[in-house]
Amino acid sequence: MDKRIAWNKGRLVGQKVPLKLQEIWSIRTRLEIANNIRELAMFNLGIDSKLRACDLVALKVADIMRSGDILARTCIVQHKTGTPVQFEITPLTRKTVKAWIDNKSLNYFDFLFPSRIKKGKHITTRSYFRIVLKWIKSIGLDPSLYGTHSIRRTKVSILYKRDKNLRAIQLLLGHKKIESTVRYLGIEVQDALEASEKLDI
């Protein structure tokens, strides 16, 4: 009888670690120095939008641009839940995304991040995952601890540490239940560790 090996044998699974502010800027700086317009736009938009990989890669130019200008806010329908979610696009991200669109001469109904292999298609979530791991490795972090959800979790993790406003984060992530937001952020564990760190005995 064949013994099947578990898919996750020897792998670290579970919640992926969000990036810290210094790490965000380290990745940005490296992409800017390399003049990697595409990945800089992808990275900045991934951080701002807080979208799942499947939603980020499927964005079209029309989702974020009107009359030649990148929108400060937009709304898309999530693939996983079928519910709409709004997100902001900060000035820095608007600048880098516009530079990418202009550089690639993308039209309104083009995918924002088109596939380099299949014409008329967007990049795959697997391709995006590989790009994210490349960013992580570029600043010396352990790639086994990170993934595409690291990008999705980054901004909301920073917001939670600052404001502790779970309802706001629930809306930003497009979660239907507040319990999903608590689990997603790992808040109970995070708060317990912070409380423990403050107790000097």
Q: Are 130 and 124 in contact (CB under 8 A)?
A: no
What value does the mean pLDDT take over residues 145-168?
86
pLDDT-based confidence at 187, cuts 50/70/90?
low
Tens of pLDDT, residues 31-71: 999 999 999 999 999 999 999 999 999 999 999 999 999 99
Q: How far is residue 102 from each of residues 4, 59, 61, measured CA to CA in Å? A: 50, 16, 11
Q: 3-class SS at 74? A: strand
- Residue 114's beta-bridge partner residues? 122
For the domain spanning 21-198, the CATH number is: 1.10.443.10
Following DSSP, what letter does each residue of 130-157 receive, concatenated? HHHHHHHHHTT--GGG--HHHHHHHHHH
Q: Are 18 and 157 in contact (CB under 8 A)?
A: yes
Task: Give the pLDDT confidence score for residue 6 in this predicted structure.
Answer: 47
Q: Are 80 and 122 in contact (CB under 8 A)?
A: no
Sequence spans of domains, the chain: 21-198
Tell me how far apart the alpha carbons of residues 146 and 170 are, in angstroms, rounded to a whole number.
Answer: 22
Tens of pLDDT, residues 98-116: 999 999 999 999 999 999 8
Tens of pLDDT, residues 71-97: 999 999 999 888 898 999 999 999 999
